[in-house]
Amino acid sequence: MYDIAVIGAGINGCSVAHEFTSAKKNVVIFDMDGVASGGSGAAGAFISPKFSKSGALKELIHDAFVYSMEFYEEKFSHLLQKVPLLHIAQDMKDSETLSYYKQNTVLELNIPPEELLEQLTPHARSQENVYIDAGVINAEAMCNGLCKDAKFIKEKINSLVYDEGVWILNEIYSAKEVVLATGAYKALIKEPYINIRGVWGHRIDIKTATQNKYSIHQYLSISPSKNGILALGATHNVHYHPQKNKEPYDVNEGRAELLEKASRTMELKDIEVIKDYTGLRSGSFDYLPLVGGLVLSHETMECCEKKVRVKKPDFSEFAYYPNLYMINGNGGYGFVLAPYLAKKLCEYILSGKKIDDRLSPARFFARWAKKK
């Protein structure tokens, strides 16, 4: 019997495992392929804020950025590379957004050094930019470090049944509480309001004669050099999903696109692609993540349909699965958001501290119910 079972060993699931093992809970974490085997392992794992004018997502990522930089530096400093980030506008609209951001952010910004600007193409140099202290994470090592005190089992969970106050997984394992961190893959719980979109990610590590000391983001992300190797990565293809597409992903075509995008920002000399990383990232349709308990849609509609259909329903009046939660939909900000959201979820489960309704999966149930 485990206190907590986490299903999914990407950055979300591993962050949850870390929070609960730190709270001295007995934790098991499952994944069908391995730790950081999907989108998290393919991520560039850049730690940065969201450069936009306003909105709930920008505010959330701002708070998560500040928290995660401190978290990684305090607990996993050997896996954090603190390095300045240059974020470059892609077009005129993006330039206007960055200009607004620079005038209104509370974060400390810097002036990019001339040696960095000289690396860029004339087009990239001509665009508005933001230069800020940030970081890059060793993605796979970080996920392994976060879940090292949990029991890891490489197994696909196909069945999840609640019986006499306990969750039974695959008819073998039992846990008092279960957290679903399954990303954009097929959901274990069949609820009509849960609809996660998948975005295929592709990263390549390249050997190049070009040396770079900075993180550079424009059409994709370019990492700082490490032993002559750069990582080029992007949230790459919104149309490809490994469980839906009949044809396999074209790795060579993906490589060519990544290299072309990088060439718009800086010239890379004597390139040799040495490794590909691919995986599915998850996002929600309102772009905010989903953190918290899962609503029982049928039972809620039966018991309190009128309360559901009001303009601003009280989520606490819905019926929920007992001791079942999810953390999902971080998009391209997984390594920024995961430690922050995992902490919130842990506090909610262990001490009842409320999670912002804007992040609750119940918001999607309420929208679905009103349309039904």
Same domain assignment for residues 219 and 362: no
Same domain assignment for residues 259 and 117: yes
Range of the domain at 164: 2-38+142-196+285-371
Token pair, residue 219, equals: 């059409």
pTM (2 decimals)?
0.93
**Cβ density class 143-177: b for 16+ within 10 Å, e for less:** bbbbbeebebbeeebeebeeeeebbbbeeebebbb
Same domain assignment for residues 128 and 152: no
Question: Does any domain span residue 130?
Answer: yes
Same domain assignment for residues 222 and 270: yes
pLDDT bucket at 6, cuts 50 / 70 / 90: very high
Q: Residues 173-199: pLDDT tens digits? A: 999 999 999 988 878 898 999 988 888
- Residue 237 belongs to a domain with what CATH number? 3.30.9.10
* Per-chain mean pLDDT for the chain: 93
Is there a contact between 145 and 79 (Cβ–Cβ < 8 Å)? Answer: yes
pLDDT bucket at 4, cuts 50 / 70 / 90: very high
Is there a contact between 80 and 145 (Cβ–Cβ < 8 Å)? Answer: no
CA dist 232 and 214 (Å) reads 13
Same domain assignment for residues 347 and 202: no
Same domain assignment for residues 210 and 312: no
Question: Does any domain span residue 53?
Answer: no
* Of 239, 264, 281, the domain-final residue: 281
DSSP state, residue 149: T
CA 191, 196, 200, 203 torsion-angle sign: negative
* Of 248, 281, 314, the domain-final residue: 281
pLDDT of residue 215: 96
Q: Residues 195-221: pLDDT tens digits? A: 888 888 899 999 999 999 999 999 999
Is the confidence at residue 124, as pLDDT, over 80?
A: yes
* Of 250, 281, 312, the domain-final residue: 281
pLDDT of residue 298: 92
CA dist 50 and 182 (Å) reads 24
Same domain assignment for residues 12 and 112: no
Q: How far from 84 is each of 47, 149, 297, CA to CA, in Å?
A: 10, 32, 46
Give the position of tokens 């928290």: 67
Tell which residue, 148, 145, 150, has the closest CA to residue 2.
Answer: 150
pLDDT of residue 245: 78
Q: Residues 21-79: pLDDT tens digits? A: 999 999 999 999 999 988 888 788 899 999 999 999 999 999 999 999 999 999 999 99
Is there a contact between 366 and 296 (Cβ–Cβ < 8 Å)? Answer: no
Is there a contact between 50 and 158 (Cβ–Cβ < 8 Å)? Answer: no
The residue count for the chain = 372
CA dist 168 and 347 (Å) reads 24
Question: Does any domain span residue 173?
Answer: yes
Same domain assignment for residues 208 and 129: yes
Same domain assignment for residues 91 and 225: yes
Same domain assignment for residues 262 and 151: no
Question: Does any domain span residue 58?
Answer: no
Is the confidence at residue 238, as pLDDT, over 80?
A: no
Percent of the chain with pLDDT over 70: 98
Could you tell me which residue, 281 or 355, shows the higher pLDDT? 355
Same domain assignment for residues 302 and 316: yes
pLDDT of residue 239: 66
Residue 123 CB-density burial (10 A; 0-12 exposed, 13-18 middle, 19+ buried): exposed
Same domain assignment for residues 111 and 32: no
Largest CA distance in the chain: 66
Question: Does any domain span residue 186?
Answer: yes
- Residue 306 belongs to a domain with what CATH number? 3.50.50.60
**Domains: count for the chain:** 2
Q: Residues 303-332: pLDDT tens digits? A: 877 777 777 888 999 999 999 999 999 988
pLDDT of residue 224: 95
Question: Does any domain span residue 77?
Answer: no
Q: Over the Cα atoms of the chain, what is R_g?
A: 21
Q: How far from 308 is each of 79, 195, 311, 316, 318, CA to CA, in Å?
A: 45, 19, 8, 11, 8
120, β-bridge pairs: 266
Would you call 280 helix, strand, or coil by DSSP? strand
